[in-house]
């Protein structure tokens, strides 16, 4: 009887420990959804914009899209996009970031900026922490490591406390201690400037230890 009771207690402890270590996951696959009505999509940057949902992913041109939910605690953001670009057919800009869910450059942001995708001579990558009107660039590269100009690319950013780590196609980009970013809930932001669908966002995923909140 005592052995049975001890076994039950041990089993419950193992279950509780396992549950404590479990993170939640939210994701959207743009190749499988029929619309993006739950995303906040708005013209940004002043150009002749366009947005469309194709079978291969979400096309944005001078439009930014903010996800429907923000996430708290430690988390990992993973964004995948399909690229088909070269020296002649380049993608001017592709941005991936985090913010408060109300717009671009409204409060605090962590942004990845990719420029001139497809042209090895002018491609660049920058990462910036934004606090109001203060832009602090903490990584600047005159190339995009391991970029696949004709294929799928994956950007991953993990946040643990005030420390973030960023990866592009599995290549470690940087580790950075945030100076100002202290949002309780972080919302994903994606943006692109291109004259035709050469870059399509295929998926966005959050793995998080805290809770989630709907966009304001």
Q: Which of 44-58, 67-81, 135-149 shows the lowest mean pLDDT across its residues? A: 44-58
pTM: 0.90
- The proportion of the chain whose per-residue pLDDT surpasses 70, expressed as a percent, equals 90
**Are the beta carbons of 158 and 165 closer than 8 angstroms?**
yes
Write the DSSP symbol of residue 186.
Answer: B
In the three-class reduction of DSSP (H, G, I as helix; E, B as strand; rest coil), residue 2 is classed as helix
Contacts of 64 (CB under 8 A, 6+ apart): 41, 42, 44, 95, 104, 189, 190, 191
- pLDDT tens digits for range 162-195: 999 999 999 999 999 999 999 999 999 999 999 9
Please give the Cα distance from 143 to 73 (Å, whole number). 32
- Neighbouring CB atoms inside 10 A of 168's CB total 20
**Comparing C-alpha atoms, which of 176, 81, 86, 188 is closest to residue 137?**
176
pLDDT score of 25: 98
Q: Answer whether residue 133 shows pLDDT above 90.
A: no
Q: What is the four-CA torsion angle of 38, 44, 48, 50, rounded to 10 degrees?
A: -20
Which residue's structure tokens are 């196609």?
169
Q: Answer whether residue 11 shows pLDDT above 50.
A: no
**Are the beta carbons of 46 and 62 closer than 8 angstroms?**
yes
What the chain holds in terms of domains, given with CATH numbers, is: 23-214 (2.60.120.200)
């Amino acid at each position: 009887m005592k052995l049975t009771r001890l076994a039950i207690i041990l089993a419950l402890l193992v279950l509780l420990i396992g549950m404590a270590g479990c993170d939640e996951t939210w994701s959207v696959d743009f190749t499988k959804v029929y619309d993006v009505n739950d995303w906040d999509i708005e013209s940004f940057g002043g150009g002749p914009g366009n947005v469309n949902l194709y079978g291969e992913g979400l096309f944005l041109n001078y439009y930014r899209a903010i996800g429907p939910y923000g996430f708290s605690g430690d988390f990992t953001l993973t964004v995948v996009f399909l690229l088909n670009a070269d020296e002649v057919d380049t993608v001017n800009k592709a941005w991936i970031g985090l913010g408060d869910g109300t717009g671009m450059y409204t409060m605090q942001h962590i942004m990845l900026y990719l420029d001139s995708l497809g042209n090895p001579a002018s491609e660049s990558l920058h990462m910036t922490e934004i606090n109001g009107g203060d832009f602090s660039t903490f990584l600047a590269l005159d190339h995009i490591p391991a970029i696949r100009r004709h294929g799928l690319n994956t950007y991953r950013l993990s946040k643990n406390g005030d420390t973030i780590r960023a990866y592009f196609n599995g290549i470690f980009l940087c580790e950075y201690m945030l100076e100002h970013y202290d949002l309780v809930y972080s919302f994903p932001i994606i943006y692109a400037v291109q004259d035709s669908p050469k870059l399509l966002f295929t998926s966005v995923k959050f793995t998080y230890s805290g809770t989630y909140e709907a966009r304001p």
